[in-house]
Structure 1
């Protein structure tokens, strides 16, 4: 019989500001939305770039089932040996053969008889020239469908056009495609004609008094002077940006998709 599965996705976690907020609020957000399965992108969780074992363990304790990544998954070399051992820690599947870690997995959904496939892919426009995510999706989606038709894709990419093109390409073959990497939440969450939930970018979980998580003054100097400046984490106006989706367990199609932002952004000046 058809049931509705609720999947909560947490957008790019940026450094200690994002982690601290999740430690306080994530369990209550999971409870509020009755989430059956939780995925979080954490490639920027360690000092704004990369991840470590302590953070991974902390996220699992908070209720995260699968951690996805992106172009900064390999930023901290000490994580490489661990990446080989934890199938719940993903990095983009379309890195060339020989890269550490796992690019997708099929997981039991706690309290149910259902399984969910989670696929992590990375775009190539203005990013590393890795393997083709479109062709990679062709074979991995067929492989996952041998075990489940519930499939969640984290597509980590710079160009909005590439994200949108990829969304149209996999519509009807995946349940949800959540865009990550640009750290700015987009207002285009919707269900595409063949039943896939889509959003160009979920946004980041971290400090919004920043330039995509970076200290404002340091970022401005980069543009004014056009010379390199050391990355410096920002702090302040910390928010969680995520996505709650409902998926029909029989068809694998998305029945609802809703961005989650807490606290919400102010749209009027305070008096």
Structure 2
């Protein structure tokens, strides 16, 4: 089985890039399952029902989220409505939606996807992601041969720690959130593939998908400034992973960066 995971989709530039390149991606990589992080898909902040359906309609099988999960006013509605939208599992159990989902493949077998939110440097008031992972693997995902975790976290150290913690227990651990793709994709001896950060899908003309001016103003003056989506030079960043459908172990992994026509 081949999985394509794409990093944070940043606003309309990211969504349009994915829509325009979906046929090319399918042709070039021949993947069986497409996972994207939709954390920034709606105007750069959160996910709306409209943007969720837009992504799903262009071939996305699963959408994971992160610290901006609740930014859009219809967040609770979409999480309860769309099973393919997955919020961080370490929010309280009473929160709308679920932090995991099981997908039945056309070729047979099940893929379990779960989403976790990091606590180092994020200020997120969430449960321990490590213990929550244990709970999910022993519970709703225990019968899934293939298991994929999107760990939405700021600190590279925390992401790498979770990859070690889940080593041999899941097929793939991908980091998201920083919008900067890392060059450390690997497969452990126990068959777990991992990458610290997938990167982003959006405009590369600014700073992590946003216009440079606001970021520079904040950093240089120390004063608040409103972010705006950058335009132009769209890219799609992510990772391809081949997983043995019998053992659930990763057998090949490769990061990708696709530069798109404007």
TM-score where L is the length of structure 2: 0.96
Deviation at 1:145, TM superposition (A): 4.6
How many aligned positions are there? 259
Answer yes or no: is the 8 Å Cα contact 2:237–2:257 preserved in 1. Answer: yes
Deviation by residue 1:195-234 (Cα, 9 ceiling, x = unmatched): 1000000000001111111210110000011111112111
Mapped partners of 2:158, 2:144: distance in 1: 26
Secondary structure in structure 1 of the residue aligned to 2:173: strand
Does the alignment pair 1:116 with 2:120? no
Does the alignment pair 1:73 with 2:69? yes
Mapped partners of 2:176, 2:87: distance in 1: 13
Deviation at 1:129, TM superposition (A): 2.7
Q: Which runs of 5+ in 1 are unaligned?
A: 265-271
Match of 1:181 in 2: 177
Mapped partners of 1:145, 1:232: distance in 2: 39
1:135 is matched with which residue: 131, 134, 138?
A: 131
Mapped partners of 1:75, 1:124: distance in 2: 18
Deviation at 1:85, TM superposition (A): 1.9
Within-5 A mapping of 1:1-16: 5-16=1-12
Match of 2:190 in 1: 194
Does the alignment pair 1:52 with 2:48? yes
Mapped partners of 1:112, 1:161: distance in 2: 36
Deviation at 1:144, TM superposition (A): 4.3
Answer yes or no: is the 8 Å Cα contact 2:49–2:74 preserved in 1. Answer: no
Answer yes or no: is the 8 Å Cα contact 1:90–1:103 preserved in 2. Answer: yes
Match of 1:30 in 2: 26
Q: Which runs of 5+ in 2 are unaligned?
A: none
Match of 1:238 in 2: 234
Match of 2:121 in 1: 126
Does the alignment pair 1:85 with 2:81? yes
Deviation at 1:247, TM superposition (A): 0.4
Deviation at 1:248, TM superposition (A): 0.6
Mapped partners of 1:123, 1:79: distance in 2: 20
Mapped partners of 2:81, 2:101: distance in 1: 13
Match of 1:268 in 2: none
Deviation at 1:79, TM superposition (A): 2.5
Secondary structure in structure 2 of the residue aligned to 1:228: coil
Mapped partners of 2:10, 2:44: distance in 1: 5
Answer yes or no: is the 8 Å Cα contact 2:136–2:142 preserved in 1. Answer: no
Deviation at 1:102, TM superposition (A): 1.2
Assess, with a 3 A threshold, how the Cα gap between structure 1 residues 145 and 19 changes in structure 2: closer, same or farther: closer
Secondary structure in structure 2 of the residue aligned to 1:205: strand
Answer yes or no: is the 8 Å Cα contact 2:9–2:15 preserved in 1. Answer: yes
Answer yes or no: is the 8 Å Cα contact 1:27–1:62 preserved in 2. Answer: no
Does the alignment pair 1:64 with 2:60? yes
Secondary structure in structure 2 of the residue aligned to 1:29: helix
Mapped partners of 1:147, 1:55: distance in 2: 31
Deviation by residue 1:132-152 (Cα, 9 ceiling, x = unmatched): 000000110122453212001
